[in-house]
Amino acid sequence: MEMKHAIWATAGLTAIMALIVIAVAMSALLSTDAPPAAAGGPAAPANSAQERVLRGYDVAFWGEGRPFVRVKERFFGEVNTVNLVTHLAFELHYAESGPADEGGYTYQQADPAAVENTYRFGLCHEYGLFGLAPNAKEAARIYQIAAMSGHSEAREAAQRLGGGR
């Protein structure tokens, strides 16, 4: 009787392992690293805008319609995989130049990479990329931040959207 139970248990475990292998294979077949279609905005500009936003980033994978990229941390130098949209949102702080403290005694210089990333974040808002809804007003505000730090394309985009001076 015990041999019968051992055979059934072995058959059951084998069936479970086969199902897991099939599930992993199907998941690999169905998932791709190709970017999903843009969520709104003009079709042709969104594709080129999407390419501009992704340029230079190492895309690790796509999740929830957004790219997750490998970036080197600003202070510790470690490489982490982060949501690109969240990363670009945090770059706004480093793109602004001006007084760094309340008294205005120190002056913060804008990081050129952060200025470019701020422009890219504006593209995400303007064309509704990576799960964001198209929002011209927010895009103009973000473009203006990059423009104040010297980004010429951001200046043109802010003027085009009515946010430039």
Please give the chain's pLDDT, 165 residues, in tens.
688 777 888 887 788 887 787 777 666 555 444 444 444 433 334 478 888 888 888 888 887 778 888 888 877 888 888 888 888 887 877 777 655 556 556 555 677 777 888 888 888 888 888 888 888 888 888 888 888 888 888 888 888 887 544
Domain ranges of the chain: 1-31, 43-160
> What is the greatest pairwise CA distance in the chain?
87
- Which residue stretches of 31-63 are H helix? 43-54
Q: Which residues of 49-61 are buried (b: 16+ CB within 10 A; e: fewer)?
A: bbebbbeebeebe
Residues 164, 124, 96: CA angle, nearest 5 degrees:
50
Whole-prediction pTM: 0.64
3-state helix, strand, coil in the chain (%, to 5): 55, 15, 30
Which residues, listed in sequence order, are joined to residue 164 by a DSSP beta bridge?
Answer: none
